[in-house]
Amino acid sequence: MVEKLLRAHASVRKYKNYTLSTEEVTELIETAQHAASSHFVQAYSVIWVTDESKKEELGRLSKNPKQFETAGAAFLLCADFNRLQVAGNLHNTNIEIDTTENVLVGTVDVALFAQNLVIAAESKGYGICFIGGVRNNPTEISQLFDLPQGVFPLFAITLGVPDQQNEVKPRLPVAAVLHENKYNSKKYELLLKEYDHTMEEYYAGRETNQKVTNWTSQMAEFLEKPRRPHMAEFLASKGFHLK
């Protein structure tokens, strides 16, 4: 059952007219909190966006406005070391947050929490969409939600009853991501050509938004130039200079 649920994941960008209750959201968040956490620091916080004007502005700033228009719940997920600084203050200890390791720990903690949230939501029949576009305007979004020093937004999640369900995209073959005892890059050229053929068939044959493309061409275009170079300066403004 769990395996079937995980394999069925696809982003949902249009939802039916249903707003999640406080009880439903609380239950989902509490379930998500049982994700693993590095040294149990639990370096994450969630902003539940119920203010319609803020939700609309979050959509605009993340350059994904339609994702938020029909969502039954919208969340901004943040790495959070502010709360840990308060924990240190209770013991007259200054918490050193300004390290690359802490950025990684916070990012991983948020991702693990978020995946638990998604699985819990999908197990109840909801659909979700991750929105990394939050990092398009992290400074403005931080101001919108009063995020203090030591807290930075990573992505948003919209959630609701699906009104439009996308087809599941074929993933890379297991052989492309599974290595035994040592890393082997020699297999990639053949495997990626085969995967490109699979993706070409998928894009050409899906019910909506058909197009002629494949995975490697998309990745080449996507990663040709540095993306969101402003993130380094933004993280520094939040107290993380990647020491």
pLDDT in tens, 67-101: 999 999 999 999 999 999 999 999 999 999 999 99
pLDDT at 86: 97
Domain 2-167 CATH superfamily:
NADH Oxidase (3.40.109.10)
pLDDT at 209: 86
Three-state DSSP state, 164: strand
Calculated CA dihedral for residues 35, 41, 43, 48, nearest 10 degrees = 60
Domain residue extents for the chain = 2-167, 174-215
Task: Kindly state the average pLDDT of the residues 118-142.
Answer: 98
The model carries a pTM of 0.95
Task: Name 101's Cβ contacts closer than 8 Å, sequence gap at least 6.
Answer: none
Taking the C-alpha atoms of residue 168 and residue 185, their distance in angstroms, rounded to an integer, is: 27
Around Cβ 232, how many Cβ atoms within 10 Å?
Answer: 13
Largest CA distance in the chain: 62
Least confident of 1-10, 74-83, 129-138: 1-10
- Residue listed under structure tokens 């029949």: 125
Q: Which of the four pLDDT bands, split at 50, 70 and 90, describes residue 141?
A: very high
Q: Per-residue pLDDT tens for 48-61?
A: 999 999 999 999 99
Q: If you average pLDDT over every residue of the chain, what do you get?
A: 97
